[in-house]
Structure 1
Amino acid sequence: MWEPCELQSAEISKLASTIELLNYERTVFQTQKYGIVTSKTNMLVVQVHRDVERLQYLIVSLAQVRDVESILLVFSHSYYDDRINKLVSGITFCRFMQIFYPYSLQLYPNKFPGIDPDDCVSTAGRTKRFCSSRDGRLTEHKHHWWWKANFIFNNLDWSDTFKGTVVFLQEDDYVLPDLLYMLRYMTRSQAYLPGLHLLSFGRPRAKDLDFDVLSVSSWHPPFDKGLAFNKSLWHKISAVSSYYCLYDDLSWSYSLLNAFRKFNEGHVDMVATQMPRVVSTSTFPSGRAAMQQIALWLVGARMFPSNVKAVMLYSSTGRVNSGVKPPPRGNGGWGDLRDHLLCLDPLMSTTTSNTNDMSATTYSQTTTKAADYITVAQHKMNMSIADLRNMNFK
Structure 2
Amino acid sequence: MATIKKPRMKDAAARRRFLLVVSVTLLGVFLLIFVLGTNSRSKFFLSDELGDDLSYSYNYSYINNKLSLPKQSELSIQLEKLNQMPPRNRDLYPRLSLDHITIVLYVHNRPQYLKVVVESLSHVVGISETLLIVSHDGYFEEMNKIVKNIRFCQVKQIFAPYSPHLFPNSFPGISVGDCKDKEDGAKKHCQGSPDQYGNHRSPKIVSLKHHWWWMMNTVWDGLQETRDHSGHVLFIEEDHYIYPNAYRNLQRLITLKPQKCPNCYAVNLAPCDVNSRGEGWDCLIAERMGNVGYAFNRTVWRKIHKKAGEFCYFDDYNWDITMWTKVYPSFGGPVCTLRGPRTSAVHFGKCGLHQGQGDNNACVDNGVVRFEVDNLDKVANIKPEWDVRFTEHQPGYKAGFKGWGGWGDERDRQLCLNFARMYHLKDIASSS
TM-score range for the pair, normalised by the shorter chain length: 0.7 to 0.9
| Separation of aligned partners in 2, 1:176 and 1:111 | 41
Written as runs of structure 1 = structure 2, the 5 A alignment for 1:338-349 is 338-346=411-419
- TM-score, normalised with respect to structure 1: 0.75
Q: CA deviation at 1:252?
A: 0.2
- Partner of residue 209, structure 1: 279
Farther off after superposition, 26-35 or 276-285? 276-285
What is the rounded CA distance, in whole Å, between the counterparts of 2:328 and 2:382 in structure 1? 34
* Contact 1:215/1:312 (8 A) holds in 2: yes
Cα distance in 1, alignment partners of residues 236 and 382 from structure 2: 26
The code of the aligned residue for 2:405 comes to G
What letter is aligned with 2:201?
R
Deviation, structure 1 residue 185: 1.8
- Report the Cα offset of residue 32 of structure 1: 2.4
Using the TM superposition, name which of 175-184 and 38-47 deviates more.
38-47
Is the aligned partner of 1:169 residue 2:236? yes
- The change in CA–CA distance for 1:41 and 1:292 in structure 2 (over 3 A counts) is closer
**Do the aligned partners of residues 313 and 227 (structure 1) sit closer, same or farther apart at CA in structure 2, a change above 3 Å counting?**
closer
Instruction: Tell me the alpha carbon deviations over residues 142-187 of structure 1, each in whole angstroms, 9 at most, x when there is no partner.
Output: 0100100100000122444312211111112111101011102211
Kept in 1, the 8 Å contact 2:97–2:129? The answer is: no
State the distance in 2 between where 1:155 and 1:45 align: 14
* Structure 2, unaligned runs of 5 or more: 1-38, 45-71, 193-199, 352-361
Change (3 A) 1:15 1:331: same
Q: Does 1:262 align with 2:322?
A: no
Give the paired residue count: 336
Q: Residues 37 and 185 of structure 1: is their aligned pair in 2 closer, same or farther, counting only changes over 3 Å? A: closer
Determine which structure has the larger helix proportion and give its number.
Answer: 2
Distance 1:260 1:66, change over 3 A: same
Name the structure 2 match of 1:100. Answer: 159
Of all paired residues, the percent bearing the same amino acid is 26
Q: Tell me the distance in 2 between the aligned counterparts of 1:65 and 1:211.
A: 23
- The 8 Å contact of residues 119 and 135 in structure 1, kept in 2 or not, is answered as no
- What does residue range 150-165 of structure 1 map to in structure 2 within 5 Å? 150-165=217-232
One of 388, 408, 416 as aligned partner of 1:335: 408
Distance 2:208 2:278 in 1: 33
For 1:312 and 1:208, the matched residues in 2 are separated by 13
Amino acid at match of 1:45: V
Q: Distance in 1 between matches of 2:308 and 2:323?
A: 9
Deviates more, 1:57-66 or 1:199-208: 199-208
Q: Which has the larger radius of gyration?
A: 2
Cα distance 1:158–1:78, how it changes in 2: closer, same or farther (>3 A)?
closer
Deviation at 1:323, TM superposition (A): 11
Q: Secondary structure at the match of 2:342?
A: coil
| 3-state DSSP of counterpart to 2:180 | helix
Q: Distance in 1 between matches of 2:255 and 2:395?
A: 22
Which of 133, 146, 151 pairs up with 2:213?
Answer: 146
C-alpha distance in structure 1 between counterparts of 2:124 and 2:332, whole Å? 37
Supply the distance in 2 between the matched residues of 1:211 and 1:92 (Cα, whole angstroms).
36
Q: Which residue of 2 aligns with 1:59?
A: 118
Instruction: Please report how far the alpha carbon of residue 72 of structure 1 lies from its aligned counterpart in structure 2 after TM superposition.
Output: 0.6
SS of the residue 1:261 aligns to: helix
Map 1:263-278 onto structure 2 (within 5 A): 263-265=331-333, 267-278=334-345
Distance in 2, Cα, partners of 1:288 & 1:164: 37
